Structure 1
Amino acid sequence: MTTQETRQPIARESEPLKSVRSLGLGGVRFDGETIRSWIRALVGVDSKLQAGALVADVTCGVGTATLALALAYPRSTFRGFDPHEPSISEAREAAIQSQVTNVRFERVAPHEFPGRRYELITTFRPERFSGDIRRIVTRIREALSEEGGVWMLVLPKRELHVHGEEEAAAHLGTFSSVRIAAETGEYTVLEAVR
């Protein structure tokens, strides 16, 4: 199924969301609508976020994607985690400047982030994972809600091509299902369901 087939009408953008429209991801820029289209490609996630859900962004960097999602889904609560203190400081400042109140940023290693029962965990920068990948993936799976929590993993297509789907599947083998949810530009979006 393509992203076009899964698209649903979206609510009108708020003024703050327009101000965070152009986001950088791994040195490549794309707009907030691209992230929204990825969310809509995940089975049932858009409606959960509209109703109000708990979301973690693991390796959030300076928080641009986290902030865009927090603005797009004001009923949900977002937590951004990253091991790099200067990035977390910048993310906190951006949240204050954008007047986003449903997001919090914390400096923590990707395998040690707190919390459980997340409806959605996002990872836009997996290259920022340091250490034991299996340990990180295990922590992410444990932190997801047992009632269909989803991990959205955004990979540069070249990364998936270089390392292969088999290697990705080996790391994601503990999830009940894994599928390619969307492919846009240079990115592949994987959906892993607990």
Structure 2
Amino acid sequence: MTKTIDQTELQAFTLRAIDDLGAGYLGVMVSLGSRLGLYRALAGAGPVTSHELAERTGTAERYVRDWLHSQAAAGYLTYHPTSGSFELSDEHAMVLADETSPVYLPPAWNVPAAMWAGESKALRAFTTGEGIAWGDHDPRLAHGSAAFYRNGYRASLVSQWLPALDGVVGALERGIAVADVGAGHGHTTVLMAEAFPNSRFYGFDSHAPSIAEATRNAREAGVSERVEFEEADAASYSPRGFGLICFFDALHDMGDPVGVLRHAVDALAPDGTVLLVEPYAADRLEDNLTGVTQMYYAASSMICTAHSLADGGELVLGAQAGEARLRAVLHRAGLDQVRVVAETPFNLIIEARR
């Protein structure tokens, strides 16, 4: 039988796929623009020509010219034909040039770069079902992930998420021990330490290079005397009667999330709280088909699911577990009081207690 091809649908999907391909090309340009300081030089500068930008940044004009053209074609810069100049709006600068902005994105392009670099490992894993440990990826994965999440945590963790927990801010102000499990580069640990000088903070991660980076970040922030980082598995760190145990976008990466949470229950003080921050997801796939979840599902298959399998794979949640599955895991671990305290387009923020 010969199928009839809908030419309109074919053309529309081809153009959509080309747009997606173009996004991959654009990501390289964004990373270069960030690392070379091109966006920073454009921010607040008004219309700038390629010669002016090259002179200000110490770069070669002919390369900069094509880079500017790519940015104008993508709609990242405004092109002024009369003057042959290019302008970065204040709104776009928040995304591309302001490293303190909660929506600053250039470092996040390190993540797909690391995914491409790990394609041969993924091909093998898809065929064999084996895992890929976090530390076996290209180093850009750890750096890109940390940088991507850092500013979002900076904008919300202390000002919104912790105050949404019952009685936790008061306890932090009085002084408690806090565990950050899967601490990565330690940005969340440092943020809390800066905000609550009477409490003591412990960051645990099984990835030694991340622990080294976290220790450096704490030292640069001036909180080393109240922050300790330790290379430790999420189910083997020493209990210290923690008043708060946090999992920031980490639990779904772990091979035995129930076992990890049971260890957390054992490590909690009697009135302690678990703070679980996970990627936002609806419970049903048909309610979860968006641009953000497209990104999360791809990352899950290459990174989160892969590490969970490498970590034993007792229960592989993936990056889109959803509220119902997370509640079930928390209940199985002995955390009976569970409530969602906040939601963003990117995260679910959950409080859990015994």
**Aligned with 1:27 (options 148, 154, 173):** 148
From the CA coordinates, give the structure whose radius of gyration is larger.
2
Gaps of 5+ in 2: 1-98, 105-144, 289-319
Gap change, CA 1:144 and 1:159, over 3 Å in 2: farther
| In structure 2, distance between residues paired with 1:66 and 1:20 | 17
Q: Give the aligned partner of residue 154 of structure 1.
A: 277
Determine which of 229, 249, 261 is the counterpart of 1:125: 249
Identity %: 33
Select 2:338's aligned residue among 159, 162, 178: 178
Shift of the 164–175 alpha-carbon distance from structure 1 to 2, 3 Å rule, reads same
Aligned match of 1:90 in 213, 221, 246?
Answer: 213
Query: Are residues 1:75 and 2:235 paired?
Result: no
Change (3 A) 1:130 1:31: closer
Cα pair 1:26 1:125 within 8 Å, conserved: no
Cα RMSD after superposing both structures: 2.4
Please say if 1:138 is aligned against 2:296: no
Give the TM-score taking structure 1 as reference length.
0.81
Report Cα offsets for 1:124-174 as digits up to 9, x if no partner.
02256432222111101111111x210000011137664333321221111
TM-superposed CA distance for 1:98, in Å, is: 1.5
Distance, in Å, in 2 between the alignment partners of 1:137 and 1:91 is 23
Q: Which has the higher contact order (CA 8 A, sep 6+)?
A: 1
- Out of 185, 190, 212, the residue aligned to residue 62 of structure 1 is 185
From the two aligned structures, give the one with the greater helix fraction. Answer: 2
1:95: how far off?
1.2
The answer (yes or no) to whether the contact 1:124–1:154 under 8 Å persists in 2 is yes
Q: Which is worse superposed, 161-170 or 34-43?
A: 161-170
Give the drift of 1:116: 3.0
Distance 2:204 2:162 in 1: 19
Number of positions where the alignment pairs a residue of Structure 1 with one of Structure 2: 175
Out of 165, 180, 194, which is 2:323 matched to? 165
More strand by share: 1
SS at match of 2:281: helix
Given candidates 221, 240, 265, the residue that maps to 1:116 is 240
